[in-house]
Chain A
Amino acid sequence: AQKVTQAQTEISVVEKEDVTLDCVYETRDTTYYLFWYKQPPSGELVFLIRRNSFDEQNEISGRYSWNFQKSTSSFNFTITASQVVDSAVYFCALSEPGIQGAQKLVFGQGTRLTINP
């Protein structure tokens, strides 16, 4: 069965520091997608990125970057020059085949990130 592990339960850094959130996954599928979501205190999930299993290129979007390494089954997320507004819970998720072609998501435990001024 699919599994996602976010070993870091909580991280606290000072503003402007760089921070990396780790995500390790397990799957037997050859085709799958990985996701990162941000959940601020309001509770609404904010989609950050989707990466398919055939695309191992790293991606950068502003202060955010993602490192996908299939060899180690990891999909790590780095925030550069962190800001207080980055404080939230971050979830890594993995697609899992569901019924009628729809893909379910398996979520990691989440990492609570606190950026201190």
Chain B
Amino acid sequence: KQEVTQIPAALSVPEGENLVLNCSFTDSAIYNLQWFRQDPGKGLTSLLLIQSSQREQTSGRLNASLDKSSGRSTLYIAASQPGDSATYLCAVRPLGSKSGGYQKVTFGIGTKLQVIP
């Protein structure tokens, strides 16, 4: 059974700092990995989607890497801003099999980020 762990659970940094959020997963048979942002009481906003064949994806100040063999992904946020304050979730889609299981995405519990002005 896939387990997704995110470390740290919470992080508080001063504005302008670069930071790294970590995600690890136990089963490397994944189809893709996705990073989301969740604001309090709100839905999930997709940030980056990395296919299993890819090593990294970039969008603006965000860069996500994937090391499938070691079961790890990192989300790098450059020059953090107060508006980046949110909970960041990592989600893994399995490779699946002929009988299914392909769409049963497993989420981590998230890292709660606070960027202090």
Q: Do A and B bind each other?
A: no
By a beta-carbon cutoff of 8 Å, the part of chain B in contact with chain A is none
